[in-house]
């Protein structure tokens, strides 16, 4: 029988993707209780599995009760934190937020590539600005975060010249750091002209230098989100800089450019290999490095993807596109499979499993199918 998200999707996928997105965000913003009732009812049969802490993983931004978080871009203006943290996500990242509100690129700018379970977007940081998001975050009662870390992803305004970009990041850090559990510097969106120039060690250095004082005044775990198209020759410099500036970790990756698919960034299954390769290179370089962690994002849709990440030394991941295609059931499927793995290998917690990951098989044992 189709679940509520499958029914919703059947109708929603007949409508323009951005219109559906906006209507859904408004619905979840004004009626989070109703949405929670529907999806928690679906999750109820798994509540034993989901709502104990065997899945918890410690990160620099605090414990993630579940290893899968929500990636930036879905709840840009932080309007649905109550709803998204009520799902079994381990953490939720809002944004990208810019210092001033901006409309983003002309529509249409979001497209489904259904056969490939992928999306193409050229949104261009459309958002109501950091102050509007701050009001949302300040209105949240502690219980409305459901004990989850909530981070904000920050980017420069389209009309801020590159040499002034460090001031945008500085202002954003100063405003938001006291109110979130972590911040992510976004220098990797393909949809803001020249933004990716800031991903070079030189560009990043200007930003990180501009943040030294504000970070001292108000420490907050700081991450840098990278593109899968960053040349490997740049990676060494970026990691060196991240260590020098005591960055909490790297978020890899953002969307990729595939010109043959149209202008914008590709996410989902079409991105998976590129993103996976980028993470492999990063984790290879992070071996033996203390302090820098990785948040994996890009084409992740199953426990098998997570398993590969763990085998390489990663711990937590985020999803966006797979969540659009599968809805909250994606999280329940992760939970059931992870629970099976804990039982199959006789571990009490995910921390225990990860400590022993090297001794475990190279591929995830599949979930037995019910006959
Ligand atoms: C419609 C859309 C909007 C996005 N907006 C942002 C954004 O504002 N900031 C950001 O850092 N990433 C943004 N992303 C990228 C996602 O956070 C994620 O890095 C990327 O989609 C790869 O993950 P996925 O394959 O699970 O979707 C966006 C992705 C999509 C599909």
* Ligand 1 mean position, distance from CA 320 (Å): 6
Q: Is 271 in the pocket of ligand 1 (CB under 6 A)?
A: yes
Residue 42 pLDDT > 80: no
Of the pLDDT bands very low, low, confident and very high (cuts 50, 70, 90), residue 320 is: very high
Whole-number pLDDT of residue 45: 66
What single DSSP character describes residue 127?
B
Whole-number pLDDT of residue 59: 92
Of the pLDDT bands very low, low, confident and very high (cuts 50, 70, 90), residue 370 is: low
Residue 121, SS3 per DSSP: strand
* Ligand 1 mean position, distance from CA 95 (Å): 10
Q: Which of 86, 118, 188, 189 is catalytic?
A: 189
Q: Is 337 in the pocket of ligand 1 (CB under 6 A)?
A: no
b vs e for 294-316, b when ≥16 Cβ sit within 10 Å of the residue's Cβ?
A: bbbbbbbbebebbbbbbbbbbbb
More confident residue, 47 or 79: 79
Of the pLDDT bands very low, low, confident and very high (cuts 50, 70, 90), residue 38 is: confident
Q: For a substitution probing ligand 1, which of 72, 224, 262, 323 has the most ligand atoms within 8 Å of its CB?
A: 72
| Atom in ligand 1 nearest the alpha carbon of residue 71 | 17
Q: What is the mean pLDDT of residues 253-264?
A: 94
| Atom in ligand 1 nearest the alpha carbon of residue 188 | 11
Mark whether 189 is an active-site residue. yes
Whole-number pLDDT of residue 47: 65
* Ligand 1 mean position, distance from CA 356 (Å): 32
* Beta bridge partner(s), residue 118: 113, 268
> How far is CA 370 from each of CA 345, 367, rounded to the nearest angstrom?
20, 9
Q: What is the mean pLDDT of residues 273-302?
A: 94
* Ligand 1 mean position, distance from CA 109 (Å): 13
- How many Å separate Cα 252 from the centre of its chain? 9
* Ligand 1 mean position, distance from CA 267 (Å): 7
Domains parsed from the chain with CATH numbers: 65-329 (3.20.20.70)
Q: Provide the H-helix boundaries in the chain.
A: 4-12, 17-30, 32-44, 47-50, 81-86, 130-139, 165-176, 201-217, 232-244, 272-286, 303-312, 321-326, 329-344, 350-355
Whole-number pLDDT of residue 170: 98
Distance between CA atoms of 246 and 37, rounded to whole angstroms? Answer: 42
| Atom in ligand 1 nearest the alpha carbon of residue 321 | 27
Residue 357 pLDDT > 60: yes
Of the pLDDT bands very low, low, confident and very high (cuts 50, 70, 90), residue 32 is: confident
Q: Is 74 in the pocket of ligand 1 (CB under 6 A)?
A: no
Of the pLDDT bands very low, low, confident and very high (cuts 50, 70, 90), residue 109 is: very high
pLDDT tens readout for residues 71-83: 999 999 999 999 9
Closest CA to ligand 1's atom 21: 267
Residue 140 pLDDT > 70: yes
Among 147-161, 177-191, 355-369, the least confident range: 355-369
Q: What is the pTM of this model?
A: 0.96
% of the chain beyond a pLDDT of 70:
95
pLDDT tens readout for residues 186-228: 998 888 888 888 898 889 999 999 999 999 999 999 999 999 9
Q: Is 110 in the pocket of ligand 1 (CB under 6 A)?
A: yes
Of the pLDDT bands very low, low, confident and very high (cuts 50, 70, 90), residue 316 is: very high
Of the pLDDT bands very low, low, confident and very high (cuts 50, 70, 90), residue 41 is: low
- What DSSP letter does each residue of 46-106 carry, written as one string? THHHHTSGGG-EEETTEEESSSEEEPTTSSTTS--HHHHHHTT-S-EEEEEE-SS-B--SP
Residue 31 pLDDT > 90: no
* Ligand 1 mean position, distance from CA 338 (Å): 25
Averaged pLDDT score across all residues of the chain:
92
Distance between CA atoms of 89 and 226, rounded to whole angstroms? Answer: 22
Q: Is 324 in the pocket of ligand 1 (CB under 6 A)?
A: no
């Amino acid at each position: 029988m189709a679940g509520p998200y499958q029914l919703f999707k059947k109708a929603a996928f007949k409508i323009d993707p951005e219109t559906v997105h906006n209507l859904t965000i408004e619905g979840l913003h004004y009626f989070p209780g109703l949405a929670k009732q529907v999806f928690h009812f679906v999750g109820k049969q798994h509540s034993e599995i989901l709502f104990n802490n065997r899945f918890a993983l410690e990160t620099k931004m605090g414990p993630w009760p579940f290893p899968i978080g929500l990636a930036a871009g879905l709840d840009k203006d932080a309007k649905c934190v109550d709803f998204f943290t009520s799902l079994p996500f381990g953490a939720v990242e809002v944004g990208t937020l810019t210092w001033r509100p901006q409309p983003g690129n002309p529509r249409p700018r979001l497209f489904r590539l259904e056969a490939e379970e992928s999306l193409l977007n050229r949104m261009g940081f459309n958002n109501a600005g950091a102050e509007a998001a701050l009001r949302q975050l300040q209105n949240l009662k502690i219980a409305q975060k459901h004990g989850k870390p909530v981070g904000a992803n920050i980017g420069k305004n389209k009309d801020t010249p590159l040499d002034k970009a460090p001031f945008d990041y500085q202002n954003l850090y100063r405003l938001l750091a006291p109110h979130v559990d972590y911040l992510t510097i976004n220098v990797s969106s393909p949809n803001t002209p020249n933004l990716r120039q800031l991903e070079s060690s030189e560009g990043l250095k200007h930003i990180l230098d501009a943040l030294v004082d504000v970070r001292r005044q108000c420490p907050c775990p700081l991450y840098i989100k990278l593109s899968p198209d960053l040349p490997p020759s740049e990676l060494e410099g970026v990691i060196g800089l991240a260590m020098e500036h005591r960055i909490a970790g790297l978020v890899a990756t953002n969307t990729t450019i595939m010109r043959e698919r149209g202008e914008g960034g590709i996410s989902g299954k079409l991105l998976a290999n590129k993103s996976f390769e980028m993470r492999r290179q990063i984790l290879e370089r992070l071996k033996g490095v203390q302090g820098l962690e990785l948040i994996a994002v890009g084409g992740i849709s199953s426990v098998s993807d997570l398993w590969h990440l763990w085998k390489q030394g990663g711990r937590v991941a985020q999803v966006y596109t797979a969540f659009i295609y599968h809805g909250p059931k994606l999280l329940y499927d992760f939970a059931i499979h992870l629970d099976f793995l804990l039982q199959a290998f006789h571990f009490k917690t995910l921390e225990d499993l990860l400590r022993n990951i090297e001794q475990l098989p190279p591929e995830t044992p599949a979930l037995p199918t019910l006959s």
